[in-house]
Chain A
Amino acid sequence: GAVVSQHPSRVICKSGTSVKIECRSLDFQATTMFWYRQFPKQSLMLMATSNEGSKATYEQGVEKDKFLINHASLTLSTLTVTSAHPEDSSFYICSARSQGTETQYFGPGTRLLVL
């Protein structure tokens, strides 16, 4: 149980284009989903928290107009990196929790490379 998937697992795009990453909870309803960014050999940095049906809450320093988050259903959240630039290249990880639990379960991550 508590499986979270992400798609795609890796993506290469040209500078200036937009990229959408999907995060799905496969066997539970995710009341809250989280998006993290991880640079090589570093820890996870929380970008934003989203609750189903409401606007995401972004961490300080994260541009909400650049990193669009949609949590339209209890099993799906999407992160869209708009007008991507090479400095957006990173590993993006989502996690999800269900109502009544304190534990986050993580997706396998998406490696984004912007050329």
Chain B
Amino acid sequence: AQTVTQSQPEMSVQEAETVTLSCTYDTSESDYYLFWYKQPPSRQMILVIRQEAYKQQNATENRFSVNFQKAAKSFSLKISDSQLGDAAMYFCAYKKGAGSYQLTFGKGTKLSVIP
């Protein structure tokens, strides 16, 4: 069974600084997808970024980027120029390749942004 591990229950970052959230996963599949979701206090899950395993290039979305290390099964999220609105729970999630749609979530990392 696939597992997703987020080893940092809580993190904090100064406003405008950069922070990296860690995620590792375990799978025997070669085709899969990885996601970072953000859950602010409103509890609405918001997709931050996704990465297809077959793509070597790291995904980026504005201030958010990932460091995808397939051999190491690592998928960290970097947030640049942190803003107060970035404060939230961040969940790393894994999905097997085509034909499977279930997500496996990590336990989450609570990010605080210090003004």
Contacts and interface: CB of A to CB of B under 8 A. Distances in A.
Interface stretch (B40-48, B63-71, B72-80): B40-48
B50 A44 contact: no
B102 A49 contact: yes
A32 B101 contact: yes
A104 B103 contact: yes
B102 A109 contact: no
25 contacts: A34-B101, A38-B43, A42-B107, A43-B91, A43-B106, A44-B45, A44-B103, A49-B101, A49-B102, A93-B43, A95-B45, A97-B101, A102-B33, A102-B95, A102-B98, A102-B101, A103-B35, A103-B50, A105-B47, A106-B45, A106-B46, A107-B44, A108-B44, A109-B43, A109-B45
Interface of A: 32, 34, 38, 42-44, 46, 49, 91, 93, 95, 97, 102-109
